Structure 1
Amino acid sequence: MLERMKISIKENLLLKEKQIERQRELVAKRDARKNEDFNKRELAAKREARKNDVFKRNETEKKKIARQDEDYRKHESERDFHRKQEYRSHPENLENERLKKHSSRQNKLDIDRCYDKTVKSTKRKNIDFTDHEKKLKKKRVQGITLDACIRNFKTKINDGPTYICTSCEQTWFCDSVVNSKTVKMTTPANMSHCFTNFKSVQDIEWICHTCLNAIKKQRIPRFSIANKMGFPQRPKELNLYPLEERLLSLRIPFMQIRQLPRGGQLSVKGNVVNVPVEVQPTINSLPHTLEKSGTISVKLKKKLEFKKCDFSENVRPFAVICALHYLMRTSDLYKSSGIEINEDWITEIAKINEEEIHEMKTIVQNKRITKIRMIQIMTPIISVK
């Protein structure tokens, strides 16, 4: 019994000595860890030791045993929180952490996509599965019931080609364009000049699939404005009404347009007659005086002998003559047409206008004088009453 007691006392003493030594080592390590060089050396030594699988396994087992204590877990979580907070206080570390998370998420998405592709490719080898998939796609696009199909059709035909591409400025349907906001984020800087910031439907900048495919390949789209394929702006001189355009056109096409029985679309029936027209008599017949230079009514006929007219509209003579001047300056077709414009008509109009304005002023003054005289005559009559 005495021997056993002695052995137990010795063991207790040894344990106490080990605990004291352990505490001394911990205190010494705490003091040493205040030095950054010591921390770096210790970290490098641990990394080197963890290459050994046995050491790594023993370390994980020790951590598992230690984490069974709640106080140790709380202390470990607080320590990790403060360490992360200190690490994230530097903007470079924060950016590196964000990039790592983004890359890990992207890798996970790529793995999931590859897995889905492999699963679907194996399933699509079965004919029944492919037929079922096609039917589901048709139902999703067209609708499950007949009413849903009609509703989808009406909603689709309501929107016409009103979506304008920001690159080529052509009009497209809704299915032929995408929002350019997401495209701009991935577009390189040398292709940014293909976007004109033009917004159309829903105040959104759209881009067509044709231009998008070219930009993805880092090529300028064929019909892009950056490729000098834009339409020139229409000059103010050519803002004419339909009949005013017919008066200046060198040729007038006559055709018979009828409505089709199904769908209600318009179609041309019979021959198209292209009639050459001399613009000179038309211009000479337009009035240039102030009384008639506002608007005049014009009727367009196939022949002057006919009673029925094909088109009638009010025409602005001054706008027609200004448009003719512009076309004679810019168009080679009109220059070679043999049209002659009287350049003295402007001075003649100015003289006639001055005379007519003077006459109108005298008429207005005479009317005022007659009114004043009438008032003077009527005032004694009113006072007598």
Structure 2
Amino acid sequence: MGGDQVDEAVAGCAAVLRDAVGRDWTAVNAGRVEWSCHTTAFHIAEDLIAYAANLAGRAQEDYVPFEITLDDGTDNSGLLHVIQSTGALFTAAVRTTPPGVRAFHPYPFRSADREGFAAMGVAEVLLHTHDIAEGLGLDYEPGEELAQAVLEWLFPHVQPGPAPWPTLLWATGRGELPGRAPVTEWRWRNNLVLSTERLVLTGIRPAAARDLRLGGDGGFEWIEGGPYDGTRQAAGFMTKAYEAGVHRPEFGVFALVRREDGRAVGGMGFHGVPDEDGRVEIGYDLVEGARGQGYATEALNALAQWALARDDVSMLFASVEADNAPSQRVVARAGFTRATVEEERTAHAEHDLDTALRLYIRRA
């Protein structure tokens, strides 16, 4: 997700709306929204330039404080030119922003990276072009790959449907999908990122998880030997959860990225969502070249603190091989304690815990 996708979305918007520049866009509502087609078209331009400003300006606490206006007498052709121009500026901002840079966006974790901003910009263009086209009675459908990319980057909590574009319209309250209830309220979700002294725990999105599962790098630059097999397996489990519609992005998999060089050294994450008692399992691995330096302990402690501060988590547990002394030391240094004999017996009997594993627990 990047500048090429923004360009494609903006070009598609201009192509479909150019056929209706001679009509009065102020007199027609844009589909199901309450704005006129003219107001909605200008909103696309506002979003694109605001996202460009936040990303280029590295805004951290709020949107960059400025607004754009149209000159008096600007016609629909001029408005389309504004959309194309703000789109070009946004594309330039996305392409020139280094990996890992995050800027302010209010929902849900108050920041997004360059790929997240690109996805939000594409979403705004696709969805509002649809609104305008619906109001004006024009045919519009973006490319399947573009709609799918928006779903995988911004709607990881939405189960994939039979086709990407109808699924995206349904997920944003703009259409129906067989077998699913209508959507009346919705939000997209950027990935969660947690920072420690030396690491950035970067939430892996469904598209990246699928790439990792298939042998790719997931969009990360790894140290030699990475990613490790455990990270690929975890990415596979996460992909299955996404496809089944049970994935919650905050309880997914995180890449452990070193601050000093932006390279990934391992993976860490949850084995699902908390159960009805607030219990959730956590696991991790490191590339061999990163072991013995305290990275796993640092990341595990940060992720545990974040999870246990939530109302829906009361206990974390980790299962460690009986002969894996280094991993046992990691969980101990991260505040986990060995489960009691009775707790381990219950885990073995009721939850199919392998008898070769030891159970470690950290409570809120």
Q: TM-score, normalised on structure 1?
A: 0.23
More helix by proportion, 1 or 2?
1
Q: TM-score, normalised on structure 2?
A: 0.24
